[in-house]
Structure 1
């Protein structure tokens, strides 16, 4: 049975970019695509006292017509891809993880911006919420991203066993990894030589267990005396910008680390903001 990519859409240009990325992956890996749109009556401009069953039905009709047009545009550009679609009333971050539990889905592919074109709408809320609850991998595509490349893959690493599962899951979805970059952020009180020793050992372990042709690594430390480099997300952002991998892999098995990436501290509102596709593993928290 052909596997399916689950692609939520709000009909924005950003969600179209994510759907096109998913379509290119579908062609490469022979997947089908299921488009899904969630709507709420609360998102309308009508006062709550005017909402009625009649309005709800009209909203359904509008959503159904719009998703048909959305699918048509994709089908014209990617005629070899098999698309299906559905609209449903509800909240995206509550209902999408439930939909993903159904048999046959390989991964969720979604944009990091919506109609409002604000990163915080997804990076600070929907992406972290959906990725932390999804039973399948989540691939988050930056707004307007139009490049499909899988030549260089980066893995955020803390030398944990679960990261091997993340790599295996990614290989199952995308195919073999040719070049892997390990990205590690260490604390100021750690010695760089000791960190390099750890990452070399971890590199050897990955070579032993997975069919990867080459592995490089990039390390840096939190720098508490520099405002723009005093958190893990900021250092990761710098390393990704410098080395420009095609996709960044994030293992969500360590809740504390995952929260450090996505939930701002009391003193500083910083969340992970990567301008590259980001792949979140399905490993349980």
Structure 2
């Protein structure tokens, strides 16, 4: 967890309930999903996705609004900033309670609301740890080119910092139950803690899992291409045997650009959810590191589940 985050000075928790014990992302127990909301269309899209997901997976939703605070030394001194911030807090509290009531009445979802002041990324990460969340679910508006470089994405930033899975929902995405999930890895991942999350989710949704390994035609040498081509068949057999998926398919994808190659595969093969594993490694050593997963969160048109790796 990141250090030095600003402690909240104001908190709203409208429902008090006992918390479930820690668990992996998907089990036959209620999972805790933290949803940061700023009441934009993007964040409401994430809330709606969580409500639909709750029809298939037992969930407890924590709606989190983070107030960063505004003003200057002078406005603080004369009390103007304090009054303004209190007005924002009151308005956010009312909106959270409205969302909570809507979800409870229309979807029957268990919901808590939280209003905290602090820096957005640090506060979200800290609240996820404090609440024992199994998943952070966020909307993402996407970006490209100069806009991506200049303003970045709060969701992408969380993906890079989080120690628990992050599910990013594109703003233009319309809910449909995932039928096909694509797992991408350049490590031929065999860590059960990671793979269990993917296959438990797939089993719960009655979805098919496919796996893919990407080779860069621009930066990978011939030895890497040959190795990936050889290993992909063995990895397919491993996943089939380990998770009793007799029809699982693993593909070796090659191209000059990761985003374009994956996007084309997703479109051509009807993939409904993309899973990427983030590793704390340098860009030159690994393609699938946090920066590549974050970049993909700008471009992907379907939900992206980013799972922290251990390497």
Call closer, same or farther: CA 1:204–1:74 in 2, change over 3 Å.
same
Secondary structure of the residue aligned to 1:84 is: strand
**Counterparts of 1:44-55 in structure 2 under 5 Å?**
49-50=74-75, 51-55=80-84
> Whole-Å Cα distance in 2 between the matches of residues 113 and 160 of structure 1?
30
Secondary structure of the residue aligned to 1:251 is: strand
> Whole-Å Cα distance in 1 between the matches of residues 93 and 165 of structure 2?
27
Which of 243, 265, 270 is the matching residue for 2:269? 243
> Whole-Å Cα distance in 2 between the matches of residues 232 and 163 of structure 1?
23
Q: How far does residue 272 in structure 1 lie from its aligned partner after superposition?
A: 5.2
> Whole-Å Cα distance in 2 between the matches of residues 85 and 196 of structure 1?
48
Asked whether the 8 Å contact 1:183–1:236 carries over to 2, the reply is: no
Which of 97, 112, 119 is the matching residue for 1:91? 119
Secondary structure of the residue aligned to 2:123 is: helix
Which residue is 1:202 aligned to? 235
> Whole-Å Cα distance in 1 between the matches of residues 33 and 202 of structure 2?
12
Which residue is 1:186 aligned to? 215
TM-score, length basis structure 2:
0.74
> Whole-Å Cα distance in 2 between the matches of residues 22 and 196 of structure 1?
37
Which residue is 1:68 aligned to? 97
Q: How far does residue 59 in structure 1 lie from its aligned partner after superposition?
A: 1.6
Which residue is 2:292 aligned to? 261
Moved more, 65-74 or 274-283: 65-74
Call closer, same or farther: CA 1:81–1:106 in 2, change over 3 Å.
same
**Counterparts of 1:226-241 in structure 2 under 5 Å?**
230-241=256-267
Which residue is 1:81 aligned to? 109
> Whole-Å Cα distance in 2 between the matches of residues 276 and 221 of structure 1?
21
Asked whether the 8 Å contact 2:159–2:294 carries over to 1, the reply is: no
Q: How far does residue 213 in structure 1 lie from its aligned partner after superposition?
A: 4.2
Secondary structure of the residue aligned to 1:96 is: helix
> RMSD between aligned alpha carbons?
3.1
Call closer, same or farther: CA 1:254–1:40 in 2, change over 3 Å.
closer
Asked whether the 8 Å contact 1:5–1:105 carries over to 2, the reply is: yes
Which residue is 2:34 aligned to? 6
> Whole-Å Cα distance in 1 between the matches of residues 244 and 86 of structure 2?
52
Tell me the matched-pair count.
266
**Counterparts of 1:1-285 in structure 2 under 5 Å?**
1=20, 2-42=30-70, 49-50=74-75, 51-78=80-107, 80-113=108-141, 120=148, 124-161=152-189, 164-173=192-201, 175-176=203-204, 178-188=207-217, 189-190=221-222, 195-222=228-255, 230-256=256-282, 257-262=288-293, 273-284=299-310
Which residue is 2:12 aligned to? none
Q: How far does residue 48 in structure 1 lie from its aligned partner after superposition?
A: 7.0
5+ long unaligned stretches in structure 1: 223-229, 265-269
Residues 216-262 of structure 1, C-alpha deviations (whole Å, 9 max, x = no match): 2333323xxxxxxx322232222222223111111112533324515
